[in-house]
Amino acid sequence: MKKIFFIFLILLISNNIFVFLCGIFMQTKYYEHFNKMQGAYLLDSALVLAIHDFEDNNQPEINKEIIFNKKKIGYSINKIDDEKIYIKVYYKQKDKIIYREYLKNI
Amino acid sequence: MNKRKIVFLFTIIFISVVLQYIFFVFTLKTIDLFRIINIKDTFNKILLLSTNIESEIPGLKTDDNSFILSMPSVDINKAFIINNKDYIIINFNKLNLSFNLIPSEISARKNKSIKFINVKSADIKDCGFITFSCSINNEIIESIFYMNKNIYLFPDNFKVF
């Protein structure tokens, strides 16, 4: 009887450890998704700001860095010809720069 | 073992088992949520790369269960071939949601398909903006996207297809 109870207790403990590890895995995955979503939101915002900036100022080259929602985001615009502009939007995450590049018809 | 000890141990085990059961249910729900977010992410990435919504392509017409997007083809250097299009057919059929890429003849992209199984429902509609809803078991996600038709996102930034 004691032996069976001991085995049951071991199973319970190992299951608890497994549940704990699962929790850590879930939390890590959640942060990954959260960072991705936040990054996409920052880049989308930077793109809108860049397009508005180009439409307002119409300069062939624009480089700007701003603080948006406590994060550093930036964009650079280069006019390729009379029909197209090249836009690069980015944000800084620790030491990495996450960016997207676009080609836009004027 | 006296009676008090047995009751104490039984209570501890009971609480532990109940907590584990709750966690198990919670984990299953979270897995569904992650799956649904993954589907939305894939759709969002495809939409960002796309430049047009097509009502029909040779051999296929959109219906309630399908949606067609087009994106400019790319060459080996991932430069745009503006006058050529690659098509993405999004199809929902019998609990399967699939994203199929059909590249043009000169495109560097390859024929590829991404499939999600056990999807309860999926619905994409173009009403000036794009509404996307999808459900897996009891988890539902509903989103609204806007498509920038004059903006081409460089495919280097995204790895969907």
pLDDT of residue B22: 87
More confident of the two residues A78 and B82: A78
Return the structure tokens found at A16.
Answer: 């608890």
| A40 contact residues in B (CB cutoff 8 A) | 44
How high is the pLDDT of residue B69? Answer: 92
DSSP chain B: --HHHHHHHHHHHHHHHHHHHHHHHHHHHHHHHHHHHHHHHHHHHHHHH--EEESEETTEE--TTEEEEEEEEE-TT--EEEEEEEEEEEEEETTEEEEEEE--TT-S---EEEEE-S--EEEEEESSSEEEEEEETTEEEEEEE---TTEEE-GGG----
Considering only residues A13 and B156, tell me which one the structure prediction assigns the higher pLDDT: A13
- The residue-averaged pLDDT of A19-29 equals 86
Average pLDDT in chain A: 88
In a domain, B6, yes or no: no
Q: Is the pLDDT of residue A87 over 90?
A: yes
A22:B23 CB<8 A: yes
Pairing of strands B52-54, B66-74: antiparallel
**CB–CB of B154 and A40 under 8 A?**
no
Residue A87: domain span: 2-105
Angle at B145 between CA B140 and CA A61, to 5 degrees: 145
Q: Is residue B2 part of a domain?
A: no
Which of B20, B37, B157 is the closest to A101 by Cβ?
Answer: B157
Can you give the pTM of this predicted structure?
0.80
Which amino acid does the sequence have at B136?
I
Residue A20 and residue B20 in contact, taking contact as beta carbons nearer than 8 Å: no
Residue B117 within any structural domain of the chain: yes
B18 located within any domain: no
Closest-CA residue in chain B for A15? B20
Q: How many domains does chain B have?
A: 1
Flag if A12 and B80 touch (Cβ within 8 Å).
Answer: no
Does the pLDDT at position A84 exceed 90? no
How many domains does chain A fold into? Answer: 1
Residues of B with Cβ-Cβ distance to A102 under 8 angstroms:
151-154
Identify all chain A residues contacting B151, using CB atoms and an 8 Å cutoff: 47, 87, 102-105
> pLDDT value at position B13?
83
Percent of chain A with pLDDT over 70: 100
What domain range is B44 assigned to? 30-157
Question: Do B140 and B39 form a contact (C-beta atoms < 8 A)?
Answer: no
Q: For residue A102, give how far its alpha carbon lies from the nearest alpha carbon of chain B (Å).
A: 4
| B56, two tokens | 């029909």
Query: Is the ipTM of this structure higher than 0.90?
Result: no
pLDDT digits (tens, 9 = 90+) for A41-60: 899 899 999 999 998 988 88
Residue-wise pLDDT for A88-105, tens only, equals: 999 988 888 899 999 888
**Which residues of chain A have a CB within 8 Å of the CB of B13?**
8, 12
Q: A-contacting residues of B 91-120, CB under 8 Å?
A: none
Task: Report pLDDT for B122.
Answer: 92
Residue B25 lies in a domain: no
What is the DSSP annotation of A47-95? HHHHHHHHHHH--SEEEEEEEETTEEEEEEEEE-SSSEEEEEEEEEETT
Average pLDDT per run of 10 along chain B, which is 161 residues long? 82 85 84 89 89 85 86 87 89 92 90 92 90 90 85 78 68
Residues of A in contact with B17 (CB under 8 A): 12
Q: For residue A6, count other CB atoms closer than 10 A to its CB.
A: 10
Q: Which residues are registered as beta bridge partners of A16?
A: none
